[in-house]
Amino acid sequence: MRGSENHGGPAPLPGGSAQGGLHVAIIMDGNGRWARARGLPRVAGHRAGAQAVRRTIEAAPKLGIRTLTLYAFSSDNWQRPAQEVSTLMQLFHEYLERETPECVKHGIRLSVIGRRDRLAPELRRAIQRAEEATAGGRNLHLRIAVDYSARDAIVRAAHRVNGRRIGRAGFARLLGEAIHAGEPVPDVDLLIRTGGEQRLSDFLLWECAYAELYFTPRMWPDFEGKDLEEAVREFHRRERRFGRVLEAAG
Ligand code: IPE
Ligand code: IPE
Ligand code: MG
């Protein structure tokens, strides 16, 4: 039996998301421990983490990744020491200014997902400039999650339902609006978490319904293109069933 229209139709077939190309999401964890192991302040780990972002983006298109969603700052991360929070925001702002021209050059569309109302006005403007400048990028859709909480996003989307009868596709659209994505949220194919922890920390809870999960002990600043390649290779070894029974070929 197939899912009804009301539930947004059946899950996509194994082998990638409907748009073609993989959606990979990464919880970039372990910056603080990386720095501590070297006798450095935590913020040095965040700086080194920005280099790992660059390497990851370079490697992604060659591996068949069409959408890459990076968890940069969770809504719960506001509870960290004020100095660490302000450094993270400053690094993110610098990243946008520095990398926007690079994204344009390499056909990368950059979007930021999450709440905007608690960000500094100049950062909000930088986000808007980066999104507008890179809107034509077709090689990779890079989504950076900042002040992001999946549960808060689901609650905001639920408010927008407003008693209407909507299915999964309709809810995915509302969820996209709730995180300023401007389009329905895409299912995640592969979720990677670095840093050794095996938890979701409130990231993409709806979108990861059938994601393959991949945990690596490597700390984020040490993450390289070959680590991404290994994760994607492992993804292709998995059998995605989406609740069905797959008949053996032949
Ligand atoms: C991830 O690294 C970056 C952010 C959460 C902003 P952490 O800062 O969480 O590093 P650890 O987990 O303390 O090592
Ligand atoms: C998740 O990492 C958030 C980001 C990587 C941005 P955390 O380090 O904040 O998560 P917990 O506290 O270990 O769950
Ligand atoms: Mg952490």
Ligand 2 atom showing the smallest separation from residue 76 Cα: 9
Mean pLDDT of the chain: 93
Q: Which tokens hold the place of 101? A: 């021209």
Sorted by sequence, the CB contacts under 8 Å of residue 188 that are 6+ apart come out as 23, 24, 25, 69, 204, 207, 208, 211
* Confidence category of residue 20, pLDDT binned at 50, 70, 90: confident
How does residue 247 score in pLDDT terms, banded at 50, 70 and 90? confident
* Residue 53: both structure tokens together: 């972002």
* Residue 199 CB–ligand 2 contact under 6 Å: yes
At 113-166, the pLDDT tens digits run 999 999 999 999 999 999 999 999 999 999 999 999 999 999 999 999 999 999
Superfamily assignment of 22-237 in CATH? Decaprenyl diphosphate synthase-like (3.40.1180.10)
- Pocket of ligand 1, candidates 27, 31, 92: which has the most ligand atoms within 8 Å of its Cβ, to mutate? 31
pLDDT of 246 reads 86
160 Cα–ligand 3 center, Å: 32
Q: How far apart are CA 139 and CA 124, in angstroms?
A: 25
Determine the pLDDT at residue 250: 47
Q: Give residues with Cβ within 8 angstroms of 128, minimum separation 6.
A: none
Q: For residue 1, is pLDDT > 50? A: no
Residue of 6, 77, 139, 189 with catalytic role: 77
Task: Give pLDDT tens digits for 42-57.
Answer: 999 999 999 999 999 9
**Which pair of structure tokens corresponds to residue 33?**
């421990």
So what's the pLDDT on residue 249?
55
Section 30-34 average pLDDT = 98
Ligand 2 contact via 78 beta carbon (within 6 Å): no
CA of 30 from ligand 1 middle (Å) equals: 5
- Binned at pLDDT 50, 70 and 90, residue 235 comes out as very high
Tokens of 172: 């995915």
What pLDDT band is residue 4 in, cutting at 50, 70 and 90? very low
**Res 19 pLDDT > 60:** no
Report DSSP state, residue 213. E
Per-residue pLDDT band for 2 (boundaries 50, 70, 90) equals very low
250 compared with 182, residue with greater pLDDT: 182
Closest by Cα among 2, 82, 108, 98 to 47 = 98
CA distance 184 to 182: 7
Cβ 28 under 6 angstroms from ligand 2: yes
Q: What is the pLDDT of residue 14?
A: 41
Element (H, E) at 91: helix 82-105
Between the CA of 64 and the centroid of ligand 1 the distance, in Å, is 27
With 60 as the cut, is the pLDDT of residue 77 above it?
yes
Ligand 2 pocket member 108 (CB < 6 A): no
> Under a CB-based contact definition with an 8 Å cutoff, are residues 172 and 18 in contact?
no
Q: Which pair of tokens denotes residue 80?
A: 């960290």
Average pLDDT over residues 88-110: 98
Residues 177/18, Cβ–Cβ less than 8 Å: no
202 a catalytic residue: no
Please choose from 28, 29, 78, 202 the residue to mutate so as to test ligand 1's pocket, defined by most ligand atoms within 8 A of CB.
29
What is the pLDDT confidence band of residue 10, given thresholds at 50, 70 and 90? very low
Residue 2, both tokens: 């197939």
Task: Give yes or no for residue 16 having a pLDDT over 80.
Answer: no
Q: Indicate the SS3 state at residue 106.
A: coil
- Is 77 among the catalytic positions? yes
Q: How far apart are CA 164 and CA 166, in angstroms?
A: 6
Q: How much is the average pLDDT of 9-23?
A: 56
What are φ and ψ of residue 125, in 5° steps?
-65, -40
